[in-house]
Structure 1
Amino acid sequence: MALIHLTVLVHENWRDRYPVVLENCRQAGLSVERELATIGAIAGTIEEDRLADLTAVEGVSAVEPERTNRGLT
């Protein structure tokens, strides 16, 4: 399976429990590359087939795959 680079957004009501959500995301298979606690986001990679596990983590409001921007040539 392919690795997906993504950003996980922590629900506003869960920001005070950011470490819990972070750990649960790791348990769901997320390899954390960057923790952005002040804005309630987590950046990392996950195997494509584990994406559903990540979106089901309590306290996660959204999972946004990394977008590749390509300039016009």
Structure 2
Amino acid sequence: MGQIRLTLLVSEDWRDRYPAVLERCRQAGLTIERELAEVGAIAGRIEEERLCALKAIEGVSAVELERLNRGLE
């Protein structure tokens, strides 16, 4: 399996602990590409088999996988 790109959201009641959630995501294997603390989002990539560990982190409210946009061919 390969790496997948994703964006995750930090739940509203964890926004004041954004750095802690960010660190837990790193420990779960997420390579951080963008930190959007103002809106409570983190963008990065992770090995697909580690996705469940990322979703289980306390303070993570949603994980959205990046979708490739392909034009009409």
**TM range, smaller chain:** over 0.9
Distance 2:50 2:72 in 1: 33
Structure 1: unaligned runs, 5 residues or longer: none
Distance 1:38 1:67 in 2: 24
2:42 aligned partner, one-letter code = I
Give the Å deviation of 1:3.
Answer: 0.2
Aligned-residue CA RMSD in angstroms?
0.7
Identity of aligned residues (%): 71
Distance 2:70 2:48 in 1: 23
Structure 2: unaligned runs, 5 residues or longer: none
TM-score scaled to structure 2, two decimals?
Answer: 0.96
Give the Å deviation of 1:72.
Answer: 2.0
Deviation >6 Å, runs of 4+: none
Paired residues, what number? 73
Distance 1:41 1:17 in 2: 12
Distance 2:4 2:66 in 1: 8
TM-score scaled to structure 1, two decimals?
Answer: 0.96
